[in-house]
Structure 1
Amino acid sequence: MRVLVLGGYGAVGRHAVTTLRALGHHPVTAGRDATRADLRLDLTDLPAVASAAAEVDVVVNAAGAEDAHLVTAVTRAGAAFVDISATGAYLERVERLAVDAPVVLSVGIAPGLTNLLAHAAVRDAPDATGPLDLAVVLGAGEAHGAAATAWSLGLLGRRYPDTVGPAGATVRNYTRGATFDLPGGRRRLHRADFSDQHTLTRTLGRPVRTYFGTDTRFATTALALLTWAPPIGRLAGRAHLPGSEDWVLQVRDAAGPHLTATGTGQSHATGVLAAHAAALAAHAPAGVHHLPDLTTLEELDLPFPVTRHHDPGVTTSA
């Protein structure tokens, strides 16, 4: 299978390329930098994108471009499309497209692995009701790609629809903290507009909330303060924050935690999931899919340990 990886030399793209090769596929990197890409490609030149897409089976968008016209250009050329975006408004625009090939969304850590964990939790406890809470803790010390950093800082001060509130209610990013018992100790995290909660609320029939923090209490508290002064926060965001590259995800409800996943390197994890999504996309029917529509946590051979808390002490590599 030939896969065109947009931004294939970036923070996420290079891990997607490595994983695709390990899975036996043939990735081709594309981007504006001809010295680092196999194919020099300007993503605003849609005819050129369509021409490149016609030569491959799948296109993985790891470039951070959020343009629904790009999706249309690729799928009209006959290639499947995989997108790692976490922006809810953009994913909703893509969901409304009439596409001629498979499109896979919710690919990465959050959304992506969080969606798989939530679906697994519901399968494990099908009679449970009430809200599901997703904890997303990302390493502040990782040198993320420019698009990922801009996305995180772009949430400062913004509001989004509250998945558990009355119709029309909104939440300000990095507010409404809640405490989670996570590997390494108890942490206070804050609500954030990751797209997983919106998709899962629709598909699971239960309200879902996403809470976010970094692996350092300092950086997490800083986000909660700077969300009230967004311009200052975006200037401060140019500094590299202290911390590790470790990440933690957890799904819980009123009965307590259901599943916890851990790993090192957000970009690595996103690239791995993007590569697996590309393999699934090649055989999916035409239309827009989210990752749990095509697979389950148990079916994917992912290099991340997942603990199921309903069976204490049992850890599986899911």
Structure 2
Amino acid sequence: MNVLILGGYGAVGVHLVQLLRAQGISALAAGRDPARADRVVDVTTTDGFAAALSGVTTVVNCAGVEDLRVAEECARRGIAFVEISATSDYVRALARVRGPVLLGVGLAPGLTTLLAVDAFASDPGPIDIMIGLGSGEHHGPAATAWTYQLLGQRFPDPDGTDIRNFTGPARFTIPEKARYKPFPAVRADFADQHRLTDELGVPVRSYLRLDSRLATAGLAALTWIPALRAVAPRHMPGSDRWVVLARSANGSDHWATGRGQSLATATVAAATVRELARRQITTPTWIHELLDLATLRDDLSTTGIEFGQSTAVI
């Protein structure tokens, strides 16, 4: 197995390269900087990208580049393309690519997807997904840009209405191990809520909050004046602690928490790549169609991620 990691020296990619190599898997960091890349790649030029695929069996996109042509080029060659993006429109388009594409690989979507599927299995009914991110973590530019690009944008709710990102606050009971102070999360357009709503036949809704009340309130305010995104801070107050949970209709939660969002995403991606070595895919596939939470839990526990469940308080 020979894995090419686009953005292989970025916030997520650098962890993924290290994890795969530690597991004896050949991993090449790809990017435009010859000083840092094992294989120099410019994904904005089709010819240059095609040449970089020589001898590659799997491509993981950690570069934040959302260009269908990249996945299509891999698909034409029978190379598995693994995507960590949470962007709904892009992921929906990837699901129509003819070839081996793996979707929803990361913390959110990814781990959130598996928690939601687990919660639904325990209590079939509507699911609320809460993503809590440490606003103090140093993210790559793609992750920061993704958050700010949601400002002012709308997306469809399962009830047919349009929802503006970072509105519609809701409260969740956060596990104590996450060390998050209690305040509401707000709606956000993560791709897996749409996939799971369609697949499970029940409303699945995603909510986002940061560990900083000030930073969360800032997003909720800026979504009404999206033009101000240009002056929004690159770094915000907070820690590197994250927490994700899926809440069933009966109020019970399935959750996971840890430190370092980028490392968590890379750990999920590494486990997925290993599974692809054992189980070949030929069509667009979501992570929960390849892995289950029980399979992934052992891998994630080695990086300090903790899992738990809480029952509804009656």
What's the Cα RMSD here? 1.5
Q: Can you list the C-alpha shifts for 1:183-206, whole angstroms capped at 9, x where unaligned?
A: 344320100111111111112221
Q: Give the match for residue 112 of structure 1.
A: 110
Match of 1:177 in 2: 169
Q: What do the CA deviations read for 1:148-185 (whole angstroms, capped 9, x no partner)?
A: 1000000001111112x23xx20000000001110344
AA matched with 1:70: V
Deviations 1:182-235 (A, max 9, x none): 034432010011111111111222110001010011111111111101121341
Q: How does 1:47-66 map to 2 (within 5 A)?
A: 47-66=47-66
C-alpha distance in 2 between matches for 1:232 and 1:257: 38
The offset of 1:281, in angstroms, is 2.7
2:292 is matched with 296
Cα displacement string for residues 57-112 of structure 1 (whole angstroms, at most 9, x for unaligned residues): 1111100010111001112123111011110000111111112xx21110111100
> Does structure 1 conserve the Cα–Cα contact (< 8 Å) formed by 2:75 and 2:98?
no
Return the alpha-carbon distance in structure 1 between the equivalents of residues 251 and 9 of structure 2.
40
* Partner SS, residue 105 of structure 2: coil
AA of the residue aligned to 1:82: V
1:311, CA displacement in angstroms? 10
Tell me what 1:316 maps to.
none
Q: Give the drift of 1:35.
A: 0.5
- Alignment equivalent of 2:152, drawn from 151, 154, 157: 157
* Structure 1 residues 301-312: aligned runs within 5 Å: 301-303=299-301, 304-310=305-311
Letter in 1 for 2:81: F
Taking the aligned partners of 1:228 and 1:274, their CA distance within structure 2 comes to 34
- Corresponding residue of 1:254: 249
User: Within 1, Cα distance between the matches of 2:231 and 2:252?
Assistant: 36
- Structure 2 alignment gaps of length 5 or more: none
Equivalent position SS for 1:179: coil
Q: How is 1:116-131 mapped onto 2 (pairs within 5 angstroms)?
A: 116-125=114-123, 128-129=124-125, 131=126
Q: Which amino acid aligns with 1:106?
A: G
Q: Is the 8 A contact 2:132 2:211 kept in 1?
A: yes
Give, in whole Å, the separation in 1 of the partners of 2:250 and 2:280: 36
For the 8 Å contact 2:120–2:127, the answer to whether it is kept is no
Query: Are 1:16 and 1:271, in contact at CA under 8 Å, matched by a contact in 2?
Result: yes
Alignment partners' CA distance in 1, 2:266 and 2:295: 18
Aligned-partner Cα distance in 1 for 2:53–2:274: 16
Structure 1, residues 126-155: CA drift from partner, whole Å, max 9, x if none? xx32x2100101000011110110000000
**Amino acid paired to 1:196:** D
Q: Which of 237, 244, 254 is the equivalent residue of 2:239?
A: 244
Q: TM-score, normalised by structure 2?
A: 0.93
TM-score by length of 1: 0.92
Q: Distance in 2 between matches of 1:204 and 1:84?
A: 22
Instruction: Tell me the equivalent position of 1:136.
Output: 131
User: Going by fraction, where is strand more abundant, 1 or 2?
Assistant: 1
Verify the 8 A CA contact 2:272 2:291 in the aligned structure 1: no
Q: What's the CA shift for 1:47?
A: 2.5
Q: Is 1:31 matched up with 2:37?
A: no
Q: 1:190 and 2:161 equivalent?
A: no
Provide the secondary structure at the position in 2 that maps to 1:141. Answer: coil
1:269 aligns with 2:264: yes
Deviation at residue 237 of structure 1 after TM alignment = 2.8
* Unaligned ranges ≥5, structure 1: 313-318
Contact 2:251–2:311 (CA<8 Å) still a contact in 1? no
Tell me, what secondary structure is at the counterpart of 1:59? strand
